[in-house]
Structures are given as C-alpha cells and as structure tokens.
Amino acid sequence: MIGLFLSCSESFLEITPQSSVSSDEAITNLEDLEVSVTGVYDEISGAYYYGRYMIMIPDVMADDVKQNLSANRIVDFAEHVQNVDDAQANALWSGMYFANNALNNIINSDVEVTESTQDEKDHIIGEAYALRGLVYFDLVKLFAQHYTYTADASHAGVPIILDFDPTLEPTRNTVKEVYDQVISDMTMAISLMDDTSRSSNSNTLSATSVKALLSRVYLYKEDWANAEAMATEVINSGYSLVSNANYLTVWSEDNSTESIFEIAMTETDNVGGNSIAGLYLAPAVGGYGDYLPSNDVVSLYEDGDARLDVFIDDLLLAGDYAPYRVNKYPEVLGYDNVKVMRLPELYLIRAEARAELGTDISGAQSDLNVVRQRALPTAEDVTATGEDLMNEIMLERRLELCFEGHRLWDLMRKKEDIVRTQCTSSICEIPYGDDTNILPIPQDETDVNPNIEQNPGY
C-alpha cells in the first residue's frame, strides 16, 4: 500500500485546491511550497486523522469513554476486537503515509528563492519537517507498542520512508529508529523556523509550537531532561492560561491564549457528522451520541472544578448512561478547531519530568499547582513527594486532558492495565501490553508488501 500511494503521482501534479499536494518535480517556486504545505494541513484535518480518528480511537480504547449500546462507529476499537481488515486502521495508515509522501516532496524539492524570501522558504520547509515528525510520532503510537516496551526500544515500529520510490517494499524500522527520526525532523524544523506561525495564530506551526510537540516526544521516550528543557522554553515564550472564569471558552473559541497548536476546522471543510463532536453529542442536537464520558473519570473531579463544565446533562439518558455528555467539541457540525497542544500539558510535562529527575521537586509541585488551581482556585497546594507526587501528576493529566486523545498512551507508557469499572461491554479489563492495545498493520499493506511484519495477535 505504501508503494501504491507513493506511485500515485498524478494527483500531486495539480497545485490548485488546498487538498492537492504537489510532487517535488511540480514544486518550482515559493508559492508552490506554500500551497503544498497548506494542502498537508488540510489532509491531516480529515476525519481519518485529527478530524476524528486520531483523537477518538485511543480514547475509546481506554477507560475515560464508555460506549453507548446503540453505537455503530469504531465499536471494534472500544471492544478491542479490531482486525486486519478494519477500515479505520487502513484509513489512518494509508492517509498518514500519503501525507508523509507529500511532505517528502516538499522537503526534497529544489526551489531557488531570492535572498529576501529565504527566511520564508526556510520556515515552510521547517513546517514540512515538523509535520513529518508529527506523522511518524502518531504512526508509531498507533501501530507499535510504546517506547519502553522493550529495554532498548528495539521492537517493531513503522517503516521510515524519506524519498519517493514506487517500487519500495519496506520493512518496519524499530521504535527507537522511528523516535530518532521524529526528533531529528523536529530539531531540524526548529532550526529553520521563526517563533511565529505563518497564519499568525496556532493553526500552523512555529518554532515554539514544534518545541512543545518535541517535549511530548521526549516525555514518551522518558528523556526527562530534554522534556523539561523543551517544556520550559515553551512555558516562558508568552502563552498564558485562560482564566478560571473563562475556562469553557477554551473549547468554544479558536486560538485561545493557551492554544499552542490546533487543527483548523472551518465551515468550508464541512465535516458534519464525521467530526469528533458527531460521536459525542446527542441525537437531539444532530450528533450520533455513540460515546459518553465514563463515571470513572467524571467522579474524580472535586465540586467547583471549572472542568466539570465540559460535561453537559442529557435528560434523555437513563441508567448506566446518565446523565452526562462530553462538551469539549460543542459544535456538532465540526467547526471547532481540534486542540493538539495546549499550555496546561506543558506544565504537566515539566512537572512529570521534574518529578522523575528528582532535582526540582518544588518545581514539579508548583507546575502541578498551576494547572490544578486554575481549575479549582480553592485547591490546596500540592505537598506530595515521590510516588504520591507522580500519582497526583497523572491524575491531573487525566482530569485536564481527557477526551483529547491522551489517556491510552499514558496508560501504556506507565505500564498500567486498562480497567473499566463502569463497563458497558464484555471487555472490562485489558492488561498492559495486550496485543489489542495497538492497531493491526492493514491487510492491504501486508498483501502487497511481503517484507512487512504484522503485529502479534493479528
């Protein structure tokens, strides 16, 4: 499949609509570069990627989301019975490699520009490097076990493809090799980019937002020193948390003061029911209502916590399903931008890194307090240390970042089982390291590529 997508060059030869991405032969000037990278942003906003599945699939596989018995979308993932013919896994794999190919075309293009536009060209090339790093980071999370699953991360990751070759039948690189590529790409991006995004908001990447993404990569790799350093640079760069009183605007407005990178979703995109909101919101307002917040997570909030406002009552729900729905994606037609990176996560990354390093425990406590007391100003200062402090940090990650596609990865990297105490399916506990915690390599790929290894259990 990778070979087939790489060989579909005709679709890359038009440099007109936003959804078109050009081949390196067709990229001849600065405008072509800009249109091409804009096309990639448009591609990753699709339902197969950040427009739905990259957020929803890991969340329904974990414990913060419960499946409505009437659900008929991504049900196999919620029940951990996905298979090699799964259309969503296929769409993620093929679509992300499609984006990778487009980014390779941009990175490998040979465009000459004037001295006055060199910085602009460098920034766009930097965006391509950063986006390629993000694509590989997402691929390796979905289709491979986490970094420390083996002591040296030598277990199978995903194929790294950096050049156009329609005859290629790649093997899988190790997880370590994929992470090395991600870090290399993002580091290169930072060296090329400005501190401001081309769109003057968080819809496109800047050097600072790439540092934020890189801090997450280092966290998952357990490179605590670099995770702390990158997070600190972002925290000191001028972003600010939305106030307690205005917390709900984080979700109803685009490009808030704490938004570091978000995927633009507009009326022109017209994703409608294919949005994340479509799966969370009630049929009464035009959604499908397939998935609901579990009482497991709702019960963890203290009275007065501003984050309780992201749960809305639905009087039509009854029994195990009552009474809440998720409201982090309030526009049922999918016009709300998808938040990929917010400032609170950076404080929590730095808190975790500092706690693991053990050299600045008071700093870790302070970072945790920033997030907790924004949500609940009456919360007492954190004084916990050691394992108790780490438990507090992971709890705060769960409360702050729920329904944003993080929970499964946090459970995996902490080597914890998935335990659903409010269980609406036969799958109530999935052990750490289970084969079904990652996606299968699509059958379409293994059929045409004899060199690629299938994940265990599929």
Residue 384 sits at φ, ψ, to 5 deg, of: -65, 155
Residue 10 pLDDT more than 60? no
Residue 256 pLDDT more than 70? yes
For residue 6, tell me if it sits in a domain: yes
265 with 311: CB under 8 angstroms? Answer: no
Range of the domain at 28: 1-203+428-450
For residue 285, tell me if it sits in a domain: no
Q: How many CA atoms lie within 13 A of 271 on its CB side?
A: 29
- Helix extents (H) in 193-275: 207-221, 224-235, 249-252
Q: What is the pLDDT of residues 295-320, one digit of tens each?
A: 999 999 999 999 999 999 998 887 77
The percent helix, strand, coil of the chain (3-state, each to 5) is 50, 5, 45
Beta strands in 266-347 (DSSP E): 291-293, 311-313, 324-326, 338-342
Residue in this structure with the two tokens 């916590």, named with its chain if needed: 305
Tell me which of 61-70, 95-104, 218-227, 376-385 is least confident: 61-70
The pLDDT of residue 274 is 85
Average pLDDT (282-296) is: 92
Q: Is the peptide bond before 323 cis (omega within 30 degrees of 0)?
A: yes
Name the amino acid, one letter, at 35.
Answer: V
327 with 312: CB under 8 angstroms? Answer: yes
For residue 421, tell me if it sits in a domain: no
Q: Could you give the CA distance from residue 75 to residue 68 in angstroms, rounded to a whole number?
A: 10
Name the amino acid, one letter, at 349.
Answer: I
Name the pTM for this structure.
Answer: 0.94
DSSP output for 115-138: GGGHHHHHHHHHHHHHHHHHHHHH
Would you state the structure tokens that stand for residue 172, as one six-digit string?
A: 């899988």
279 with 75: CB under 8 angstroms? Answer: no
The pLDDT of residue 271 is 79
For residue 347, tell me if it sits in a domain: no
Q: Could you give the CA distance from residue 175 to residue 185 in angstroms, rounded to a whole number?
A: 15
SS3 43: helix
Q: Could you give the CA distance from residue 257 to residue 140 in angstroms, rounded to a whole number?
A: 30
Task: Please give the helix or strand (H or E) that residue 351 lies within, else none.
Answer: helix 343-357
Q: What is the pLDDT of residues 383-415, one digit of tens each?
A: 999 999 999 999 999 999 999 999 999 999 999
For residue 193, tell me if it sits in a domain: yes
Task: Name the domain count of the chain.
Answer: 1
Residue in this structure with the two tokens 């984050």, named with its chain if needed: 307
In the chain, the percentage of residues whose pLDDT exceeds 90 is 84
> Of 44-48, 127-131, 263-267, where does the model show the most confidence?
127-131
Within its chain, how far is the Cα of 44 from the centroid? 11
Would you state the structure tokens that stand for residue 22, as one six-digit string?
A: 């050009």
Q: Confidence class of residue 2 from pLDDT cuts 50, 70 and 90? A: low
For residue 216, tell me if it sits in a domain: no
Q: Helix 224-235 crosses helix 343-357 at what angle (to 10 degrees)?
A: 140
The pLDDT of residue 69 is 81
Residue 243 pLDDT more than 60? yes
163 with 108: CB under 8 angstroms? Answer: yes
63: domain CATH number is: 1.25.40.390
Q: Confidence class of residue 25 from pLDDT cuts 50, 70 and 90? A: low
For residue 398, tell me if it sits in a domain: no
Q: What is the pLDDT of residues 65-111, one digit of tens each?
A: 998 888 889 999 999 999 999 999 999 999 999 999 999 999 999 99
Residue 267 pLDDT more than 90? no
The pLDDT of residue 268 is 77
Q: Confidence class of residue 17 from pLDDT cuts 50, 70 and 90? A: very low
C-alpha radius of gyration, the chain, whole number: 21
Would you state the structure tokens that stand for residue 236, as one six-digit string?
A: 């000191």
342 with 349: CB under 8 angstroms? Answer: no
For residue 217, tell me if it sits in a domain: no
1 closest CA partner among 457, 436, 450, 455 = 450
pLDDT greater at residue 131 or residue 8: 131
